[in-house]
Amino acid sequence: MSEDTRHSALQDKTLLVLIVLVSLAFAWILLPFYGAILWAIILATVFAPVHRWLLEGLPGRPNLAALLSLLLIIGIVLIPLAFTAGSLISEATTLYDRVQSGELNLGSKLQRVLEALPGWASRLLARVGVTDVGDIQQRVVALLKEGGQFFATQAVLVGQGTANLLISLSIMLYLLFFLLRDGAMLARRVSNAIPLVGEQKGKLLDKFAIVVRAMIKGTILVAIVQGFLGGLIFWLLGIHAPVLWGVVMAFMSLLPAIGTAVVWFPVALYLLATGALLKGIVLIAFGAGVIGLVDNLLRPYLVGKDTAMPDYVVLISTLGGIVIFGLNGFVIGPLIAAMFIAVWGIAAGGSASTSKG
């Protein structure tokens, strides 16, 4: 190896080390606001087609198009989300207070449900040891207390951290404006910086975009729709805390096969057991005929020809992401899984995504 070659190799290694160190330092600086940055990037990605449509109608006025896109996002995403979060915390804390005070007697309600079950169901529960009403009540009460206490604590933390919340929201909106306006240019720069050959780079970006788009449209939007429909029917039937149960159903929709039925079916059984036959029948019909079919009807329409991630990958990556990153992990987990599938698909020389399980 010649002296020039060795010198060039040393320069390349030095540059690589410098890039890694500077990137880690920059990430460390941004870490306190990673949530704001993450959601700015996600919202800019999701609403990029809308922004392009506005930009076509406002040629030569990128600032105005970005501002209108930003106002649209605030109106249809952030404001409804703020109202939902407020209602969720209020309902959860109220439920916690009712359980704590004894106003909500779960023992009698569980007893009615068990008594109303058919013989085969009672025998099945007896085999698995689910017949002790007192034990079931203690477990459910403990679960509700933990959940209610969590939301009550979050409400206090939100109140105490209002300044930080406003700062993060301001950073997200500020960054979102520029990502909308300059997103195409930034995407080209990121693409040029990826140290891969042209064909690999194209495959990686294309297939990763397909998987992410399918994940966002085919998982998150379906979960939101199912949660909304579940909360709506609970509200129409006069069931307490419809927003809380709607959010729970949105998360439960990630469970393959069972999904939202984990929530609405036991409630329907309770309604039937307590004599509210019409409400119970309506809830079962709506749950099976509307909420249950949303996944089968809406997901293919939203995803189209894109390849969705398998349900079990979405579920495990979502739960793991929430454990590690908190609520932001609801998106971070599946995004990392999407990158994993895309990268290994390129490495294996095959498809970057597998068929939906």
pLDDT means over runs of 10, the chain (357 residues): 68 82 89 86 84 88 91 89 78 70 62 62 60 57 58 54 76 92 80 70 69 70 87 89 85 75 84 82 89 77 61 79 80 81 72 42
Q: Is this prediction's pTM over 0.75?
A: no
Asked if residue 115 belongs to a domain, the reply is no
Asked if residue 241 belongs to a domain, the reply is yes
Distance CA 216, CA 47 (A): 12
Distance CA 321, CA 331 (A): 8
Distance CA 33, CA 44 (A): 17
Task: Give me the pLDDT at residue 353, please.
Answer: 43
Distance CA 202, CA 343 (A): 12
Task: Give me the pLDDT at residue 357, please.
Answer: 42
Distances 292 to 14, 34, 266, 301 between C-alpha atoms, Å: 57, 35, 15, 15
Task: Report the C-alpha dihedral over residues 84, 85, 88, 90, rounded to 10 degrees.
Answer: -110
- Enter the tokens of residue 48: 């990029």
Asked if residue 277 belongs to a domain, the reply is yes
Distance CA 233, CA 223 (A): 15
Distance CA 5, CA 19 (A): 21
Q: Give me the helix-helix angle, 311-325 and 329-348, nearest 10°.
A: 130
Distance CA 215, CA 69 (A): 22
Distances 6 to 10, 15, 17, 252, 257 between C-alpha atoms, Å: 6, 14, 17, 58, 59
Task: Give me the pLDDT at residue 315, please.
Answer: 76
Among 201, 217, 199, 223, residue whose Cα is nearest residue 307: 217
Asked if residue 268 belongs to a domain, the reply is yes
Asked if residue 102 belongs to a domain, the reply is no
Distance CA 231, CA 260 (A): 11
Q: What are phi and psi of 248, to 5 degrees?
A: -60, -40
Residue 321 CB neighbours (<10 A): 21
Q: How many domains does the chain have?
A: 1
Identify the domain containing residue 218 by its residue range.
Answer: 197-357
CB contact at 8 A, 222 and 298:
yes
Residue 156 CB neighbours (<10 A): 12
Residue 148: partners with Cβ closer than 8 Å, 6 or more residues away? 92, 93, 95, 96, 97, 99, 100
Asked if residue 342 belongs to a domain, the reply is yes
Among 175, 168, 227, residue whose Cα is nearest residue 40: 175
CB contact at 8 A, 328 and 318:
no
Asked if residue 275 belongs to a domain, the reply is yes
Task: Give me the pLDDT at residue 268, please.
Answer: 86
Is the sign of the CA dihedral 40, 43, 45, 47 positive or negative? negative
Distance CA 85, CA 247 (A): 10
Asked if residue 143 belongs to a domain, the reply is no
Distance CA 147, CA 326 (A): 15
